[in-house]
Amino acid sequence: MANTNGAVRTAITKALSGKRFPLPGLLLLVAVLVFWRIGQSDLREWDESRNGVTAYEMARSGDFVNYTYGGEPDTWSAKPPLMIWLVVLTYNVFGFNEFALRLPSAIAIILFFFYAYRLIALLAGRAQALLACLVLISSKAALGEHIGLTGDFDALLLLFLTASAWHFVRFIDHAKARSAYLCAVFIGLAFLTKGPAAFVFLPGMVLYAIVRGRTRALLADRRVWIGAGIVALFVVFWSSLVLVYGKASGPSYYGSSNALETMLVHDTFRRMTSGDFGEIAKHDPLFFVKVLDTRMNFWNYFFFASVIAGGVGLYRRRRALGGTLRDPAHRSIVFSVCLTLPMIIALSFAANQHNWYLAPTFLFVAFLTVRGALSLQARWKPFAWIFGAVLLFTFVRNVVAIGTQTHALHDLFLDRNNGFAGCGQVLVTEELKQNIFLYLSWRGKPVVRVQNNDGWEHGRGSACSFETDALRTRCACVPS
């Protein structure tokens, strides 16, 4: 059975819907898991460490527009600076360390769960919202590397996209006029976080409006056009900063003339379409399936079973497909499919693919998984015990994964008694991995690259080394 907001009534939902603690308790649980190891696990190579270096050098230089790496213009990264600005702020408050670097992501992922709960509750009721969020917590979909546990762009992006989706539903289905403007504000903030990735939900929003038969009404609604103007203001704001205050540099990593060209042409269009972009071109038509297998911690099997069962049900009602799609009882499912399907299709054919690109879809994957499980439980009541057992197992498994993150580099570089304590400079013969470089920057140890290591033992400094990812890097410590 289902009511008009699509909330399936089962023994599980009846037990949960009357509770008042779910949202505060949910956010407290997320906070505990996020902050548990936030300042103790090793820095991740690439984006997290690159962000940390950019924010460190920005905090030291006072230049809040131009990115640098190692004191030189950074023409590799050209995303807008909101995330970097937040890390600069937390650096200034908490110092240079993993906690400060990851704090903006930690707060963002907690707020993401706030909006995730409210969005699913609006679509399908509080019980299904709680269950969907618990499925996310019990997997690496949100509390995983490159999203909620590291200092990357994606937790903040996920927060703003989910908030925009909540306001979109409030506007299109509940006639909340102010939500049209707030939806636009959150899309604009998403742009300031990760550029064109802010618009990944727009095709799905358009598709949902078409299914709902609201396209003409929306196009004639001045609030929609005011919202579009609000988004444009965010784009113009960042573009103006780059064009007015952006510094010219030498040949860029991509051969572009400024950060805007790098972001739009290379970091967006070429990344999606060109097989020779950067050093990684991994097109895989089964990308979505493999990502869920990596991120969803066993729940992917429930999800695909739900999709198959839903497809069979649609086929049986194919003669009344239009009415089925417009039925208010199915609105939550239709919205979830509309928002995620364009992303899944586009990324399945993209030339370059990373599993965190699909992060905005994970909430809806979790919801559709829950919806399918509850439909089965309504037909076979003992399934509630199976669902509960899987939830407990996957939750414990993810807690163990969070608690056992590696910390060898953290212990080495932040131990005041390590071999680098007396170094005035660190000499190297090869470019350092970005996490090593960031640790040394935090410790105030300038890194100097030399042609060879001749003379390291003849007055220039004592030999040193460090290991990461089974690679050993030789260096020399020059006393202060």
What does the pLDDT read at residue 412? 80
CA triple 335-308-353, angle to 5 deg = 70
Q: DSSP string of 84-137?
A: HHHHHHHHHHH-SSHHHHHHHHHHHHHHHHHHHHHHHHHHH-HHHHHHHHHHHH
Give the burial string for 321-349 (b: 16+ CB within 10 Å, else e). eeebbebebbbbbbbbbbbbebbbeebbe
What does the pLDDT read at residue 449? 76
CA distance 431 to 375: 55
Q: Which residue has the tokens 């937390």?
A: 90
End-to-end CA gap in the chain: 74
What does the pLDDT read at residue 2? 39
Which helix (H) or strand (E) covers residue 368, if one does? helix 362-379
CA distance 448 to 425: 7
Q: Give backbone dihedrals phi and psi of 472, rounded to 5 degrees, phi first.
A: -105, 125
CA distance 334 to 326: 8
pTM for the model stands at 0.92
What does the pLDDT read at residue 454? 54
Strands 447-449 and 423-428: parallel
What does the pLDDT read at residue 249? 65
What does the pLDDT read at residue 409? 85
Q: Residue count of the chain, please give it.
A: 480
Q: Structure tokens of 15? A: 């037990």
Q: What is the pLDDT of residues 450-471, one digit of tens each?
A: 776 554 544 455 556 665 554 5
What does the pLDDT read at residue 424? 76
- Comparing CA positions, the residue from 357, 340, 362 lying closest to residue 194 is 357
List the chain pLDDT tens, one digit each, 480 residues: 334 455 555 555 555 655 555 899 999 999 999 999 999 999 998 899 999 999 999 999 999 999 999 888 888 888 999 999 999 999 999 999 999 999 999 999 999 999 999 999 999 999 999 999 999 999 999 999 999 999 999 999 999 999 999 999 999 999 999 999 999 999 999 999 999 999 999 999 999 999 999 999 999 999 999 999 999 999 999 999 998 988 766 667 777 777 888 888 878 887 887 765 555 556 788 999 999 999 998 999 999 999 999 889 888 888 887 777 888 888 999 999 999 999 999 999 888 888 999 999 999 999 999 999 999 988 888 999 999 999 999 999 999 999 999 988 888 877 655 566 677 778 787 788 899 899 989 988 888 877 765 545 444 555 566 655 545 666 777 776
